[in-house]
Amino acid sequence: MYGWHPAGMGWAGGYLAVAAMTVVLVVVAVMTAVLIRHFGTGSSARRILDERFARGEIDAEEYADRRARLGR
């Protein structure tokens, strides 16, 4: 009644399902990578400032001043 494949999709139904799932997974992976890059690490200027403060290159007063200029 239905032939060899469920719902009478024929031989191409399985290939189309695999192709559609591949496209969906690629889109999800790309969106995840973009979101991680956008929200993940924060400001690179702030990160550099934090590293300089941690190494002792700048004192607490200069750190606070520069951090205020960068914005919280």
Please check whether residue 54 lies inside any domain of the structure. yes
Please check whether residue 17 lies inside any domain of the structure. no
pLDDT in tens, 37-67: 877 666 688 889 999 999 999 999 999 999 9
pLDDT in tens, 18-35: 899 999 999 999 999 998
Please check whether residue 31 lies inside any domain of the structure. yes
Sign of CA dihedral 24, 25, 26, 29: positive
Domain of residue 63, residue span: 23-70
Please check whether residue 12 lies inside any domain of the structure. no
Rounded Cα distance between 65 and 61, Å, is 6
Predicted TM-score of the model (pTM): 0.48
Q: How many domains in the chain? A: 1
Please check whether residue 16 lies inside any domain of the structure. no
Rg (CA), the chain: 26
